[in-house]
């Protein structure tokens, strides 16, 4: 339900009216194509929300960090400070873990009936809906994503996630096992304990939901570290969870940086499990910290370079729109972005012309303004990284069809960019750019595109655009990826498992599969008759 809305909303309602005003933008790399700067970029709209929560949430209380330090969270539209947020470090993580430990070992959460736990999560979903627009505004302000995307898709999906997992809370049960011998054997599915969760900035609140909802539904307690670029929505959501009746210490939120707060959590001896979403490089560090400390179990959702394959029989107009959505959605800042657009040679020229025209029609502007499809990138690091990749592409000989430079003079806006004549070994075709840069590659036949699509260290997702069921089935089975989207993309209902093959990660989140990350199995063996030795 919510998933269909992602595609339809973004593909229909965000593509029509032109919101651009006249005027040239400044050049950073080099720019071609017909763009003008939306006036809203130069005079940002004031968000209609206040920042009320900036401290750390530990044991049900908002507190300053032990060091007293704070860090600024910035508005990507301008680079200006929104608020100063308490900066958690090892000492704060220790306190948060102690609170979570106590809430698990002694506290009410794992001991509450599963029905009571589910009711807290259901009440939270209601509260999220009640505060939908406020929380969406906070998300847009901190992250730069279009408000309509946050308010109509992402925040409603958060409620959907919590209801999905709330429904499981009282349906988690083990098996009766037909073991050999005179024994009755049953399995108990128990919570793991204290879960450490480290989330990224591209979907701050959705990542909160992906992580927190299954952990709590299964009876775990949590210490969550939000991304340093986007700490605000997790703090807000945590207060709503408390209002819904979550006992103190069950969810603790520590804002702060990766190498300090994040690494302390991943290496903590009293954390039983760590779940992480972010870059592959940081994922490797997390796995190492877990191994070197207490061998806590690890789930990782990492990077990608997902192929989007347009077959020779595809309806080109529809394929262009879907491929555009697959790459440009959320400013191109998606782990599963369809960032290698493989197009069959028969339709390549037509596709390229239309893909370029579509990118030039993309509405870039203040994310608070209605109808805007693309806001700023998250921060100056990402902005610079993307422009650097555009430069690599040009220098490697790919053809810059359109875009390639910043939009406006403020903030971190980048023009929707399209490259053609891209070769597999170019950096823009093999490394994660995480920005609004579409790379279009030509192919001749199915076996060739399977080989090329699989020739990546990543294996997160793939898009397949075809009307031929044989082609769809062949590609589905041949592609070494965790999700295949046929004639659609980014369908993210709570029930659909998500995760990576190869270096895109370990484990699956969402759906029924997501529960196993937060449960462990205990085998209980009882003799059928009192044994002779008793
Ligand atoms: P990152 O992977 O470093 O950051 C993600 C989270 O990990 C943040 O909460 C961060 O504070 C934390 N972290 C960083 N270093 C850590 C450490 N040593 N120990 C524990 N936690 C740590 O990603 P970053 O720097 O924000 O972005 C770099 C690139 O990563 C992006 O350009 C993009 O390619 C990729 N990325 C992928 C995401 C995904 O959804 N798979 C999300 C964000 C970034
Ligand atoms: Mg921010």
DSSP string, 76-101: TTTTEEEEEEE-B-HHHHHHHHHHHH
In the chain, where does the domain assigned CATH 3.40.309.10 lie? 307-492
Per-residue confidence band for 107, with pLDDT thresholds at 50, 70 and 90? confident
Residue 6 has pLDDT above 80, yes or no: no
Ligand 1 contact via 303 beta carbon (within 6 Å): yes
Whole-prediction pTM value? 0.94
pLDDT top residue among 42 and 141: 141
What's the confidence (pLDDT) of residue 18?
29
What's the confidence (pLDDT) of residue 533?
82
Q: Average pLDDT of 331-356?
A: 98
Q: Where are the alpha helices (DSSP H) in 106-183?
A: 114-130, 132-143, 147-149, 155-169
Q: Minimal CA–CA distance to 522: which of 186, 170, 141?
A: 186
Taking the CA of residue 283 as reference, the ligand 1 atom at the shortest distance is: 2
Ligand 1 contact via 203 beta carbon (within 6 Å): no
Q: Is 301 a catalytic residue?
A: yes
Ligand 1 contact via 507 beta carbon (within 6 Å): no
Residue 77 has pLDDT above 90, yes or no: yes
Taking the CA of residue 229 as reference, the ligand 1 atom at the shortest distance is: 26
Residues comprising the chain, all counted: 534
In the chain, where does the domain assigned CATH 3.40.605.10 lie? 49-302
Query: Of the ranges 16-25, 222-231, 350-359, which one carries the lowest mean pLDDT score?
Result: 16-25
Taking the CA of residue 378 as reference, the ligand 1 atom at the shortest distance is: 26
331's torsion region: left (phi>0), alpha (psi -120 to 50) or beta?
left
Q: Tell me the CATH number of domain 307-492, given options 3.40.718.10, 3.40.309.10, 3.40.190.10, 3.10.20.600.
A: 3.40.309.10
Ligand 1 contact via 259 beta carbon (within 6 Å): yes
pLDDT tens-digit readout, 367-415: 999 999 999 999 999 999 999 999 999 999 999 999 999 999 999 999 9
Domain range 49-302, CATH architecture: 3-Layer(aba) Sandwich (3.40)
Q: What are phi and psi of 523, to 5 degrees?
A: -95, 130
E runs forming strands in 268-416: 273-277, 297-301, 307-310, 340-344, 399-402
> Strand pairing of 461-465 and 483-486?
parallel
Task: Give the distance (Å) from ligand 2 centre to CA of residue 128.
Answer: 21
Distance CA 456, CA 474 (A): 19
Ligand 1 contact via 198 beta carbon (within 6 Å): yes
The 8-class DSSP code of residue 181 comes to S
What's the confidence (pLDDT) of residue 514?
98
Contact call for residues 450 and 479 (beta carbons, < 8 A)? yes
pLDDT tens-digit readout, 179-200: 999 999 999 999 999 999 999 9
Of the candidates 228, 301, 432, 509, the residue annotated as catalytic is 301
Task: Give the distance (Å) from ligand 1 centre to CA of residue 277.
Answer: 7
The 8-class DSSP code of residue 24 comes to P
What's the confidence (pLDDT) of residue 11?
39
What's the confidence (pLDDT) of residue 111?
84
């Amino acid at each position: 339900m919510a998933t269909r809305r992602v595609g339809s909303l973004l593909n229909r309602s965000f593509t029509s009216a032109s919101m651009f005003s006249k005027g040239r933008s400044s050049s950073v790399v080099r720019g071609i194509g017909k763009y003008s700067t939306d006036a809203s970029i130069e005079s940002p709209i004031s968000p209609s929300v206040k920042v009320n929560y900036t401290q750390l949430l530990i044991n049900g209380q908002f507190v300053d960090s032990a060091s007293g330090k704070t860090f600024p969270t910035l508005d990507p539209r301008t680079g200006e400070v929104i608020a100063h947020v308490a900066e958690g470090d090892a000492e704060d993580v220790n306190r948060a873990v102690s609170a979570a430990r106590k809430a698990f070992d002694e506290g009410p959460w794992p001991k509450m009936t599963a029905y009571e736990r589910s009711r807290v999560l259901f009440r939270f979903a209601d509260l999220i809906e009640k505060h939908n627009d406020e929380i969406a505004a906070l998300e847009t302000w901190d992250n730069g994503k279009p408000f309509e995307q946050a308010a109509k898709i992402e925040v409603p999906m958060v409620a959907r996630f919590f209801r999905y997992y709330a429904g499981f809370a009282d349906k988690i049960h083990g098996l009766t096992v037909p073991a050999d011998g005179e024994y009755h054997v049953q399995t108990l599915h128990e919570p793991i304990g204290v879960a450490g969760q480290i989330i990224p900035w591209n979907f701050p609140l959705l990542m909160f939901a992906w992580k927190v909802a299954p952990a709590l539904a299964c009876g775990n307690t949590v210490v969550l570290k939000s991304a340093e670029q986007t700490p605000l929505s997790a703090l807000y959501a945590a207060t709503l969870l408390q209002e819904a009746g979550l006992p103190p210490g069950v969810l603790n939120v520590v804002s702060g940086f990766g190498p300090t707060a994040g690494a302390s959590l991943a290496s903590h001896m009293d954390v039983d499990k760590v779940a992480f979403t972010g870059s592959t490089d940081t994922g490797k560090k997390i796995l190492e910290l877990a191994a070197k400390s207490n061998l806590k179990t690890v789930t990782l959702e990492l990077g990608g370079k997902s192929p989007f394959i347009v077959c020779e029989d595809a309806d080109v107009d529809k394929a262009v729109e879907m491929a555009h959505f697959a790459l440009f959605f959320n400013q191109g800042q998606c782990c599963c972005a369809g960032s290698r657009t493989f197009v069959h040679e028969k339709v390549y020229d037509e596709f390229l012309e239309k893909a370029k025209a579509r990118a030039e029609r993309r509405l870039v502007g203040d994310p608070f303004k209605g109808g805007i499809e693309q806001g700023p990138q998250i921060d100056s690091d990402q902005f610079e990284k993307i422009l650097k990749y555009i430069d690599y592409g040009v220098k490697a000989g790919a053809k810059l069809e359109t875009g390639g430079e910043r939009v406006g003079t403020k903030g971190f806006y980048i023009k929707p960019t399209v490259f053609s004549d891209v070769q597999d070994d170019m950096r823009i075709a093999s490394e994660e750019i995480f920005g609004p840069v579409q790379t279009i590659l030509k192919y001749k036949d199915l076996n060739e595109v399977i080989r090329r699509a699989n020739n990546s260290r990543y294996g997160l997702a793939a898009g397949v655009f075809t009307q031929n069921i044989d082609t769809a089935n062949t590609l589905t089975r041949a592609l070494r990826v965790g999700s295949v989207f046929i004639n659609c993309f980014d369908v993210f209902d709570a029930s659909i498992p998500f995760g990576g093959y190869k270096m895109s990660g370990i484990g699956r989140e969402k759906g029924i599969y997501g529960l196993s990350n937060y449960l462990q199995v205990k085998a209980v063996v009882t003799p059928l008759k009192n044994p002779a030795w008793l």
